[in-house]
Structure 1
Amino acid sequence: MSLQLYDTLTGQKAPFSPADPDHARIYVCGPTVYDYAHLGHARCYIVYDVLTRHLRASGLRVTYVRNVTDIDDKIIKRAAERGEQPDELAARFTDAFGEDMARLGNATPDVEPRVSGHLPHIIALVQRLIASGNAYEVDGDVYFSVESFEGYGKLSHRDLSAHESGASGRTDAEQMARKRHPADFALWKSAERSEVGWDSPFGWGRPGWHIECSAMSMEHLGETLDLHGGGLDLVFPHHENELAQSEAATQKPFSRCWMHNGFVEVNKEKMGKSLGNFFTARELFRHIEPEAIRMFSMTVHYRAPLGFDVEDEGGPAGPRFPGLEEAERRLEYLYKTRQRLAELPEARVVPGGQAPDALVGFPAALARALDDDLNMPVALAALSELLSAVNELCDGALRKKGSAPQAAVDAALAGFEALRTHLGLGFQEPREVLERVRDRRAQARGVSREWVEQCIVDRATARANKDFEAADKIRVGLTEAGVELLDSPAGTTWQIV
């Protein structure tokens, strides 16, 4: 196929070439489920959803595996704080994560393995590394020896000598005494019997974070993946350690391609809980259409930082998000255009004819953009041209004695289908989206939907009675409230301006 992707390992773009040309096997590191998904999660998983959609639309079979880390110290700590059992808390946030991803338009991965269901595979991989001399036991803990793996640092392009103080940048005397090298990392962590843990040949304990992903990915996709993805923050130490332990165990390349998406920056600072600029997807859903978040994430290249601006006006409506609001306006334009096309009178659509190049060429333009390292901003530019062409088509059909060739209508519909299959945009019913967006904006302005609809009824009654002065007065009152009426042969609708 013609897809080219930037490979973090080589630092270059190269053709994506699965071992089986007809089947792409992809693993993406999933969430640690101790809280709700945030904007960084949304961006990351939208990127890989678009990748898998594009591959499938291009004719490949895809097996997409995204794990759920449901065993982790953060989960145990959060559960203790809330007086819950760790497995119950993890299950609750796993369900919430799935709901949030669905609202963003992300398809469910083919396999969603959980750490809790793969303890035997994890333990077996740890034993394999001990047997090969790449790992060692210390009082119930098991560490990977980075010095035993010659290529350590090749993914993050770091030299092992830079890790004299360990991955955290700190030197702990007790840890130093237990490890052969400061950068050695835990494959298995011992625990007290009273703590959450599992039996193993090394004693009671829990798996380390890095070994979990290696075990799960190899169990479901084999010892060499076609693509391993995740956020840029995972390159080191997580993916570096995954690569080292996996290749040490198998003596094979762990992944044919390594793909990483960029950070989210809030008001030009990296998003993080410590900075107080942290937003969950659910918080944003209260202010913006979820699909607008999807479109917003596509406005910059996936490897670049995604700039997210917040304006806190201190009013009852809460903060404003200019970038998301602009994305929502673009999404609204998309759905209004789809609705216009769907509502063209049948009598105005004539058989045959020719379709403009802007309509016919959209699916190919979309595919070309995504083939170039998943260039979604260029894909959105092609979408803008498609929408302009569709509106021109509708304008021409609705003019006096105007018409639209069936070939052009079919090409427009094919364009919208390509948009859905490749980018996952435009997958909802237009009227439902437009009404939701309108009603939320009205509520933010203190405008009641019931009041507006009653005004529309009263205005229609006044016009029927030829009381045009009363009808105009009603329209003026609505305009002053920020409501624009849209009259058409099908009736009167309204929008917030």
Structure 2
Amino acid sequence: MKLYNTLTNQKEEFTPIQSGKIAMYVCGPTVYNYIHIGNARSTVAFDTIRRYFEYRGYEVNYVSNFTDVDDKIIKRANEEGLSPQEVADKYIAAFYEDTDALNVMRATTNPRVVENMTDIIDFVADLIDKDYAYQAGGDVYYRARKFDHYGDLSDQSIDDLRQGASQRLADDADALKEDPVDFALWKEAKPGEIAWESPWGQGRPGWHIECSVMATKYLGPTIDIHGGGHDLTFPHHENEIAQSEAKTGQTFANYWLHNGFVTMGDDGEKMSKSLGNFVLAHDLIREISPEVIRFFLASAHYRSPLKFSEQNINDAKSNLDRLKTTYQNLNYRYQDAVNTLANDEDILSRIANHQKHFVEVMDDDINTPNGLTVIYQFMRDINVYIEGQEVSKRALDALLKTYSQLLAIFGIDFTAQEDNLDDMVQALIDERTTARNNKDFARADEIRDQLRDQGIILDDTAQGTRWKRSE
């Protein structure tokens, strides 16, 4: 398997630290609002990557944090008349609600800043002891220039970064820095703000330090994979590396993976709350099936930009409907399947070939578009087989198992959505079949219309009448 490592700007052979296991940290949300589709894209992208690792047999320890101490949370708390922790609790619950709807697997651990404050303070104190950090008033700053590899991840020189930082110096806090490129590890509390006692007075952590602390605490000094949105490469992830490696003396993460943006409009503008051009997942899920949204988000390669548009959503729905119809038809053929057939080996061989091809394309940096192409090819083979005069339970079992496993990597689980007709509806279908056999087509059409009004779509085939729920 090869992964594109942002640190080296190339694909590299993936070798985990511990055979069969993966330590994976993905930056989570700052919980002051509902997540937008751009945030959801990152969550879905790394959930898909995790699912593929697990499909390949790895045990994944997946840690993703909640930033529950932040200026934006304090501002929202003042606006809503709540405490910062009440705001955080509210939007953490909303995050789970939205991501559960999108069939995102829960992380192994979702640590919160407030639960790790002692560790954060100890981490900052250690950086001061090692002379990588210094106190200035009630703040603590990291000496970026002291870390030799600062700028490597974002491929920038520290002198260029310093020049840019010099142009942004504006407030009293920045004036306390030894060097404009230095960044805050601990911030002195303003009057009335939430704060914790520390050796430097009352304050709270800077944004970057929390992920260094929680990644190393829950996964160890060196982790296999660190992920997040492309916009986090600098300064957030750059600063994480500097902090973590200064403290531990070890490589922080072996592979850095970054997902592309969701864009809006013809000009491809990045979706963001700061730009005001965002669509909340919380709202969209109430307008469009979350299954369709999930499929739309998972269909593009994780590193590529993804355009949010009505056409692309409709395309995702159309493709998902095709996949679902095949799943339903595959299940339907169990009604007349025999135990085994002489030509079973041919379809079983085809299944194995599709599995092999799927792994080959997905092992190339989790190439989901090519993976879906293989699934569509597999779907066509399934459709040809189930339209045959005879089918076997042995082959259907193998087809259904493999089809479901591959779809599950994309967060699609048709098994959980299987419908069971109640006795009344089944009786109507049986009555319609009898009416058609008796050439009472008026009654047959009447029953079809009645079922359609109840959201049941009928499909008459050579193997009998099949049904599905309308979307």
CA distance in 2, matches of 1:168, 1:6: 33
Letter in 1 for 2:299: T
CA distance in 1, matches of 2:415, 2:160: 51
Q: Relative to structure 2, which stretch is displaced further, 226-235 or 418-427?
A: 418-427
Q: How does 1:92-241 map to 2 (within 5 A)?
A: 92-165=90-163, 167=165, 170-172=168-170, 174-192=172-190, 194-241=192-239
Q: Which residue is equivalent to 1:289?
A: 289
Q: Which residue is equivalent to 1:379?
A: 371
Q: Relative to structure 2, which stretch is displaced further, 369-378 or 288-297?
A: 288-297
Distance change in 2, residues 1:245/1:223 (3 Å): same
Q: CA deviation at 1:215?
A: 0.5
Distance change in 2, residues 1:9/1:349 (3 Å): same
CA distance in 1, matches of 2:368, 2:400: 21
Higher relative contact order (CA 8 A, sep 6+): 2
Q: Relative to structure 2, which stretch is displaced further, 26-35 or 329-338?
A: 329-338
Q: Which residue is equivalent to 2:89?
A: 91
Distance change in 2, residues 1:460/1:382 (3 Å): closer
User: Is residue 15 from structure 1 mapped to residue 13 from structure 2 by the alignment?
Assistant: yes
Q: Which residue is equivalent to 1:429?
A: 416
CA distance in 1, matches of 2:380, 2:72: 49
Q: How does 1:387-466 map to 2 (within 5 A)?
A: 387-396=379-388, 402-432=389-419
Query: Does structure 2 retain, via aligned residues, the 8 Å contact 1:358–1:385?
Result: no
Q: Relative to structure 2, which stretch is displaced further, 268-277 or 83-92?
A: 268-277
Query: Any idea what the Cα deviations from partners look like across 1:292-312, whole Å, max 9, x if unmatched?
Result: 222212332211101111xxx
Query: Does structure 1 retain, via aligned residues, the 8 Å contact 2:337–2:393?
Result: no
Query: Does structure 2 retain, via aligned residues, the 8 Å contact 1:360–1:411?
Result: no
Q: Relative to structure 2, which stretch is displaced further, 43-52 or 456-465?
A: 456-465
Root-mean-square deviation (Å) = 3.2
Query: Any idea what the Cα deviations from partners look like across 1:202-240, whole Å, max 9, x if unmatched?
Result: 110110010000001111111111111100000000000
Query: Any idea what the Cα deviations from partners look like across 1:289-337, whole Å, max 9, x if unmatched?
Result: 212222212332211101111xxxxxxxxxxx22112112211221221
Distance change in 2, residues 1:273/1:60 (3 Å): closer
Query: Does structure 1 retain, via aligned residues, the 8 Å contact 2:458–2:465?
Result: no
The match for 2:327 among 309, 313, 338 is 338
Query: Any idea what the Cα deviations from partners look like across 1:60-98, whole Å, max 9, x if unmatched?
Result: 222111111111111111111111111111111101111
Query: Does structure 1 retain, via aligned residues, the 8 Å contact 2:324–2:414?
Result: no
Distance change in 2, residues 1:388/1:196 (3 Å): same
Q: Which residue is equivalent to 1:278?
A: 278
Q: TM-score, normalised by structure 1?
A: 0.84
The match for 2:345 among 346, 354, 362 is 354
CA distance in 1, matches of 2:91, 2:326: 37
Q: CA deviation at 1:152?
A: 0.8
Distance change in 2, residues 1:458/1:76 (3 Å): farther
Q: Which residue is equivalent to 1:486?
A: 459
Query: Does structure 2 retain, via aligned residues, the 8 Å contact 1:335–1:426?
Result: no
Structure 1 residues not aligned, in runs of 5+: 310-320, 397-401, 436-451
Distance change in 2, residues 1:342/1:34 (3 Å): same
CA distance in 1, matches of 2:46, 2:166: 28
Q: Which residue is equivalent to 2:303?
A: 303
Q: Relative to structure 2, which stretch is displaced further, 23-32 or 188-197?
A: 188-197
Letter in 1 for 2:156: R
The match for 2:50 among 49, 52, 68 is 52
Distance change in 2, residues 1:54/1:15 (3 Å): same
CA distance in 2, matches of 1:113, 1:176: 30
Letter in 2 for 1:294: R
Query: Does structure 2 retain, via aligned residues, the 8 Å contact 1:419–1:426?
Result: no
Q: TM-score, normalised by structure 2?
A: 0.89
Letter in 2 for 1:233: D
Query: Does structure 1 retain, via aligned residues, the 8 Å contact 2:334–2:393?
Result: no
Query: Any idea what the Cα deviations from partners look like across 1:153-207, whole Å, max 9, x if unmatched?
Result: 0110011111235559622153442011111111000013521111111110110
Distance change in 2, residues 1:495/1:94 (3 Å): closer
CA distance in 1, matches of 2:313, 2:210: 35
Q: CA deviation at 1:408?
A: 2.6
Query: Does structure 2 retain, via aligned residues, the 8 Å contact 1:288–1:328?
Result: no
